[in-house]
């Protein structure tokens, strides 16, 4: 039986955390970014997250971040949600990036938990509220303690969800129980930040995914989510299981590395990576081809 109510999906159901294309000499490839964004939206994405970790944000300048947002909004902004990553471990810098993203035309902001500094929960709360207060754009939290070193507690998530512009959470905590607790006590729209946990998180109230595998299988992810929301859990489970080789294969090393390798193999704009990330080795590419083939992805 289909659900009797429709959950809020402020950024759609399927978003991909888009890689940032670079030219062969490592410069920002704005034309390539527009072509890749168009391809991803045509493939089934409701939205694109720019300037996140998958977009190599630690190695792009503030000016490049703004240029990328403007270019992608120009290419797909009338067909997809364009969400700009603005989180840093410097609150002032983050608010500046938020205002810059709004001026560049972004439709929403992604605010990662401040990394490395390990602030207490009150610091996390004040940091995030400062970002939300800097613009009129809706904000998606990004809870990823494996990278940031600190997690948003259940209580802080619920408290942040009371802010009128903090509307969603990208959950990469890997704890379905914690997600279930927070979803039940807040109005935040919950998005899986781990491809392999999208279906389990849907079962406790999530509404979609911010994906890396969406570079390659956005249509399949959409089909899985639509099957689940229509009440066809068996079909959703079947799709989930068919995609397991893709979910695991794309993360055999750092996800950006193999995402760019796959896109380059398919002939889409991606290009090289900026140090400290490095291009996939021939051995890694050979295994990636096997993983993707097992998941039904044609290169």
Binding-site entries: 54, 210
DSSP assignment of 225-291? HHHHHTT-HHHHHHHHHHTHHHHHHTTSS-HHHHHHHHHHHHT-S-----TTS-PPPHHHHHHHHHH
> 226: burial class by Cβ within 10 Å (0-12, 13-18, 19+)?
middle
Cite the beta strand spans of the chain per DSSP E.
14-17, 47-50, 81-85, 108-112, 139-143, 166-171, 189-192, 208-211
Binding-site positions for pyruvate: 54, 210
- Cα-Cα-Cα-Cα torsion 211, 213, 218, 221, nearest 10 degrees, comes to -80
Q: Is-contact 40 215, C-beta < 8 A?
A: yes
Which of these, 198, 187, 182, lies nearest to 247 by C-alpha position?
A: 198
Whether 191 is catalytic = no
Which of 65, 170, 173, 260 does the annotation list as catalytic? Answer: 170
Which of 142, 173, 191, 260 does the annotation list as catalytic? Answer: 142
Whether 116 is catalytic = no
Known catalytic residues? 142, 170
């Amino acid at each position: 039986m289909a659900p009797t109510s429709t959950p809020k999906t402020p950024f759609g159901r399927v978003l991909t955390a888009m890689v940032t294309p670079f030219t062969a000499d490592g410069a920002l490839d704005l034309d390539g970014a527009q072509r890749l964004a168009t391809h991803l939206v045509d493939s089934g994405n409701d939205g694109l997250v720019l300037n996140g970790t998958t977009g190599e944000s630690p190695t792009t300048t503030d000016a490049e971040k703004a240029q990328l947002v403007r270019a992608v909004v120009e290419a797909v902004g009338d067909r997809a949600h364009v969400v700009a990553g603005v989180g840093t471990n410097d609150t002032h810098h983050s608010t500046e990036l938020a205002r810059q993203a709004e001026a560049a035309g972004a439709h929403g902001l992604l605010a990662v938990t401040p990394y490395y500094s390990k602030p207490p929960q009150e610091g996390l709360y004040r940091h995030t509220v400062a970002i939300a207060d800097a613009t009129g754009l809706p904000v998606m939290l990004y809870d990823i303690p494996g990278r940031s070193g600190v997690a948003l507690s259940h209580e802080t998530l619920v408290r942040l969800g009371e802010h009128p512009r903090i509307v969603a959470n990208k959950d990469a905590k890997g704890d379905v129980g914690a997600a279930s607790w927070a979803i039940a006590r807040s109005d935040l729209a919950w998005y899986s930040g781990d491809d392999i946990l999208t279906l389990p998180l849907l079962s406790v109230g999530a509404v979609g995914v911010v994906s890396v595998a969406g570079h390659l299988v956005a249509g399949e992810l959409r089909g899985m989510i639509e099957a689940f929301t229509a009440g066809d859990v068996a079909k959703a489970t079947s799709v989930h299981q068919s995609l397991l080789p893709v979910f695991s294969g794309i993360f055999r090393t750092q996800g950006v590395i193999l995402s760019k390798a796959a896109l380059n193999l398919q002939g889409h704009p991606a290009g090289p990576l900026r140090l400290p990330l490095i291009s996939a080795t021939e051995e890694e590419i050979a295994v990636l081809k096997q993983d993707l083939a097992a998941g039904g992805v044609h290169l």
